[in-house]
């Protein structure tokens, strides 16, 4: 299942491909289906979408255009914080499946915490979606240490992942360690910091040593860490291919450490005023 040259991340015996294709923001929507299809042709077996992105329809179309079986492609979608109440949550999941023309997703996430709705209500709706077979696995996104503790304590089902911003310019040690303590994987959104880290001289130097691109070195630095998954987005076929071509090199411990030290730049790219929780201090 999910054949890939890259090692999978395993949570409770369920494997997820460590690199997925991100589908947020397609500036030219008419090209979206082609790009997602190209990603699948290039070997991606994991697609990351969300109700909020408006890309579910294109993901569904791309899936229908490939002869790779549904069971071989991992699909993650998310329910927005506007739909955190149980009834709205249920409707959102149904709408996602209807839009993609799917019977189930592999992973369903609470996209952002919603302080105005009891977390127990939203987690209850998440679990219900799993029990009804609409989601094979469930998880959270943009949850801080305090919220991870709450979610893990409330949930009677294993939480599969916490999707958070993680790249070389941000320290997420506390969130990652808390997730590990609960057996939850970490999926990195904006893994390339929307391109910012690709201009870093240290990353460029390491890339030259391996004859790889800065994007490949950044993604390798992420997935070489325990239980880390990354979902980069790219809009050119060349970069789509590049971002999954990571199997033929490894970073040394010294190189991993050099990249980890770049976190002193302390950059948070995704920080929407209306949605952000009180982030953990490094």
Residue ranges that bind ligand NAP, judged by CB under 6 A:
22-24, 48, 111, 141-142, 163, 189-195, 198, 213, 215, 231-236, 239, 242-243, 270
User: How far is residue 144's CA from residue 281's CA, in Å, rounded to a whole number?
Assistant: 10
Question: Strand, helix or coil at 72?
Answer: helix
User: How far is residue 18's CA from residue 206's CA, in Å, rounded to a whole number?
Assistant: 21
Min dist. Cβ of residue 189 to ligand NAP (A): 3
Catalytic residue (choose from 44, 53, 166, 169)? 53
User: How far is residue 103's CA from residue 97's CA, in Å, rounded to a whole number?
Assistant: 6
Min dist. Cβ of residue 50 to ligand NAP (A): 7
Q: Identify which of residues 119 and 165 has a Cβ nearer to ligand NAP in the complex.
A: 165
Q: Identify which of residues 102 and 215 has a Cβ nearer to ligand NAP in the complex.
A: 215
Q: Identify which of residues 220 and 233 has a Cβ nearer to ligand NAP in the complex.
A: 233
Q: Identify which of residues 25 and 132 has a Cβ nearer to ligand NAP in the complex.
A: 25
DSSP string of 196-243, one letter each residue: GGGG-HHHHHHHHHHT--HHHHHHHHHHTSTTEEE----SSHHHHHHT
Min dist. Cβ of residue 52 to ligand NAP (A): 8
Min dist. Cβ of residue 237 to ligand NAP (A): 10
21, 219 Cβ separation under 8 angstroms: no
Question: Is 53 a residue of the active site?
Answer: yes
Structure tokens at 89: 């949550």
User: How far is residue 41's CA from residue 56's CA, in Å, rounded to a whole number?
Assistant: 18
Active site residues: 53
């Amino acid at each position: 299942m999910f054949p890939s040259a890259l090692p999978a991340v395993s949570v409770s015996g369920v494997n997820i491909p460590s690199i997925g294709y991100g589908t947020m923001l397609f500036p030219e929507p008419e090209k979206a289906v082609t790009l997602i299809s190209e990603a699948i042709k290039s070997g991606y077996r994991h697609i990351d979408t969300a109700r909020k992105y408006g890309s579910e329809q294109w993901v569904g179309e791309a899936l229908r255009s490939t002869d790779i079986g549904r069971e071989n492609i991992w699909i993650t979608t998310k329910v927005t914080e506007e739909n955190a109440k149980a009834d709205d949550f249920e409707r959102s999941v149904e709408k996602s499946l209807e839009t993609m023309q799917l019977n189930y997703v592999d992973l369903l996430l609470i996209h952002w915490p919603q302080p105005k709705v009891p977390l127990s209500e939203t987690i209850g709706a998440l679990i219900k979606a799993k029990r009804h077979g609409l989601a094979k696995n469930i998880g959270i996104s943009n949850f801080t240490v305090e919220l991870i503790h709450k979610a893990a304590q409330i949930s009677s089902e294993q939480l599969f992942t916490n999707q958070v911003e993680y790249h070389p310019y941000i320290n997420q040690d506390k969130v990652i360690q808390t997730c590990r303590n609960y057996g939850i994987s970490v999926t990195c959104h904006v893994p390339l910091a929307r391109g910012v880290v690709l201009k870093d001289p240290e990353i460029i130097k390491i890339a030259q040593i391996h004859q790889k691109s800065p994007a490949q070195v950044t993604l390798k630095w992420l997935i070489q860490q325990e239980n880390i998954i990354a979902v980069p987005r790219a809009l050119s076929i060349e970069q789509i291919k590049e971002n999954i071509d990571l199997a033929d090199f490894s970073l040394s411990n010294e190189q991993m450490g050099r990249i980890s030290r770049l976190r002193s730049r302390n950059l948070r790219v995704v920080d929407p005023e209306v949605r952000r929780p009180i982030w953990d201090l490094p």
